Structure formats: structure tokens, C-alpha cells
Structure 1
Amino acid sequence: MSEGKKLRRGFGWLTVLGAVLVVGGIVGLVYTGVATLTSMLLFGWLLLVGGLVGVLQAVQSRGSNFFWLGVVVAALNLAAGIVVIRHPESTAEALTMFAALLFLTGGVFRLVGSVVVRGPQFGWTLVQGAFGVLLGLFVLFDWPHSSLYVLGCFFSLALLFDGLGLIAIGMGGRQMVNMVSAATPGDQEETHN
């Protein structure tokens, strides 16, 4: 198999993965509550796996100065993972509150910074700040009900845009490989045979 065919196949798989992520993102936007719980459970399992890996690393580093630090970090990851898996709704509420406060404070800093500095991006920074404040207030005023959809919506949008990016890379990469293959006489003979 020629290099061109291998590259086309690889870019094709990127496009397929992108399409799967786009479908997952759209389904998540339709069912934001399920996406929120799914993302919380995934987060909890990732914390558990990270804690187990941390325990193994701590055991391997016995006798070093970082042993106890590794044990503490691993224990915290394990405990947090168990809490998130056992109480995904409460975790979603806490993370939604945290996200709302981040949007609110980030928006306020952008607003104040844009007014004080008045740099070349004054208008965009002002709009970003206002949007951050409005988003933070919107999530806070509807809290704890907003925790049912906010994280799932963000998770689904991330899947959707990551998928669109992979589709663009896959399709663009295939087109570039086709253009290079068409310009290279040796590759062209292999594709015709």
C-alpha cells in the first residue's frame, strides 16, 4: 500500500471519528440532563483511575522525598472519584456554581479591564466581559436547576466543535494527499494499477 493510500485512510478515519463526535454532541444537546450525568460519571471514573495510577507511582517512589505527597494526591483523587460517582447530581450542582462564579468574575475583570485600558480590542473585550457577566448571572439565577443542563450543554458543545474540527482536518488532509498524489508521477502510476 502506498504512503498516499495510508494517509488517505488515516484522514478518512479522522473524518469518521469527527462525525461520531458531532452526532454525540447533537444527541447531548438534545438530552442535556443525560449528558450532564454522563460527564459527571466520566469525570468520577477519570479521578478514580488517576488515583489508582497515583497509588502505583507512590509505591514505586518509596523512599523518595515525594512519596507522601504522591500518597496524599492519590488518596484525594480516589476520594473525589468515589464522591463524584456516588453523588453525580450534587457534584454537577457544585461544578455549575463554580462555573457560574468563574463566568461572573471573568466577565467583571474583562469589563473593568477594557474600560481602564481602552486598548485596540476595547469593543471586543467589552462585549466578552458583558457576555461573561450575563452568562454567569443567568446560570446563578437559575441555580440549582441550571445544574441539570449547563455542564451537559458545555460538554456537548465541546464534542460538537471537536468533531467539526476533526471532520475539517480529515477532509482537508485527504484533499491535500490527493493533490500531492496527482502531482507526483510515481504515486499516480500506483493508483492507476
Structure 2
Amino acid sequence: MPGTKRDETARLSRGFSWLAALGVILVIAGLIGLFYTAFATLTSMLLFGWLLLIGGLVGLLHAVQARGTNFFWLGVVVAALNIAAGVVVLKTPDAAAEALAMFAALLFLAGGLFRLVGALVVRGPQFGWTLVQGAFGLLLGILVLGTWPSSSQYVIGTFISLALLFDGLGLIATGYGGRRVVGLVTERLTTEGDHGASGKGRNTSGT
């Protein structure tokens, strides 16, 4: 039984090690993307286009399999839209990046304005932090719009790279913390096994 528990903890430790390794890869990818934002933006757009195209084809296949039901025409329309969007993004990734940068800027402006107004009206316990968040979002939206469309060359790539970087750091922290917990559990199991063995030895000698 203790051997089985040790095997399970060993598998968990290896799993957390792979998780940390994946985090390192994501951190490296994020750092590379931050240094080459234009390349990261283009790569993100091409990947996004392929995902739309493949998702549309899979959706179309599911719609064909569901023909004769109420889902058929809805599935066909959604799949056709995804395929068309994927083709457009793949053919004009620069224009797609410009559109997404504009959309992101409008989201920052709307979110920042909403937080500012909400903070001033409600004045809750998080008033200062909400005010800072709103001002930062508003400023970021103005900066992106002020340099648009040239900002589209680095906005998407920067956001994707930062997301990869922070996700990678989170995975590294999870993997490292998980390995520490598994190590503590393994140490406790080893200690209990040693105590059990010594107790059996004393009983045998007493007999």
C-alpha cells in the first residue's frame, strides 16, 4: 500500500514538473513576442485565421451530420461565417490586426470610462484602485487610437505575448508549488513507513 502511494506521488511530481516545463516554454515565447511584436502580431493573426477556418469546417461537418433537424441551417450559417472570416483573416492579416486593434481600443475606452464613472458615483471601499484602473484603461485606449493604424502592428502581439508570459509564470508557480507539496507528502509517507517498520520489528523481538 505505501508503495502504491509512493508511485502515485511520483506520478504527481512528474506531472507538476511537466507543468513547470510548459510554463518555461510559454515564458520564453512571451519574451520573444515582446521583443518581436510585429512578428507576434502576424503570427497571432494567422493562427486566429486558421482556427476560424478549421472551426468552420468542423462546424459544417457537424451541421451536415445533423441534417434534418432544426440545428442544420443554424449550424450551416455559423460555419459559413467562420470559414469566411478565416479566409479574410488569412488573406489580409494586416487589415484584421487593424480591426482588432481598433476594437481593443474601443473596449479600453468604454471599460475605462465605465470604471471612472462608477468609481466617482459609488465611491466604495475600492475607490482608489477602481479609479486607477479606469484611468489606465482610458489612457491605453487613447494611446492606441492616437497612433492607429500603425499601433496595430504591435498592440495584438504585445497583448498576446504578455498573456503568454503571465500564464507561463502562473504554470511555473503551480508546478513548483505542487512539487513541494508532493515532496512533503512523500516525506511523510516515508516517515510513517519507517515508523511502521520499526514498530513491527519491536513486536517481533518482544514475541
**Partners of 1:181 and 1:188 within 8 A in 2:** no
Residue of structure 2 in register with 1:47 after alignment: 52
SS where residue 145 of structure 1 aligns? coil
Q: CA deviation at 1:114?
A: 0.8
Aligned mate of 1:145, from 147, 150, 153: 150
Taking a change above 3 Å as real, the CA distance of residues 188 and 79 of structure 1, as seen in their structure-2 partners, is farther
Uncovered stretches (5+) of structure 2, i.e. residues with no partner: 1-5, 195-207
- Whichever of the two has the greater Rg, that structure is 2
Q: Where in structure 2 are the equivalents of 1:1-193 lying within 5 Å?
A: 2-185=7-190
Q: Which residue identity lines up with residue 167 of structure 2 in the other structure?
A: D
Distance 2:146 2:58 in 1: 39
Distance 1:108 1:58 in 2: 42
Residue of structure 1 in register with 2:198 after alignment: none
Distance 1:63 1:115 in 2: 55
Taking a change above 3 Å as real, the CA distance of residues 64 and 188 of structure 1, as seen in their structure-2 partners, is same
Distance 2:153 2:190 in 1: 58
**Partners of 1:2 and 1:187 within 8 A in 2:** no
Q: Deviations over 1:22-54 (max 9, x none)?
A: 000000000000000000011001101110111
Q: CA deviation at 1:121?
A: 1.1
| RMSD over equivalenced CA pairs, Å | 1.4
Uncovered stretches (5+) of structure 1, i.e. residues with no partner: none
Distance 1:8 1:66 in 2: 45
Q: Deviations over 1:104-135 (max 9, x none)?
A: 01111111111111111111111111111000
Q: Which residue identity lines up with residue 151 of structure 2 in the other structure?
A: S
Distance 2:192 2:155 in 1: 50
Distance 1:156 1:187 in 2: 46
Q: Which residue identity lines up with residue 170 of structure 2 in the other structure?
A: G
Q: How many residues align?
A: 189
Q: Deviations over 1:72-100 (max 9, x none)?
A: 00000000000001110000000000000
Taking a change above 3 Å as real, the CA distance of residues 188 and 78 of structure 1, as seen in their structure-2 partners, is farther
**Partners of 1:19 and 1:167 within 8 A in 2:** yes
Q: CA deviation at 1:185?
A: 2.9
Taking a change above 3 Å as real, the CA distance of residues 52 and 147 of structure 1, as seen in their structure-2 partners, is same
Q: CA deviation at 1:2?
A: 1.0
Q: CA deviation at 1:187?
A: 8.7
Q: CA deviation at 1:188?
A: 6.6
**Partners of 1:25 and 1:158 within 8 A in 2:** yes
TM-score, structure 1 normalization = 0.95
TM-score, structure 2 normalization = 0.88
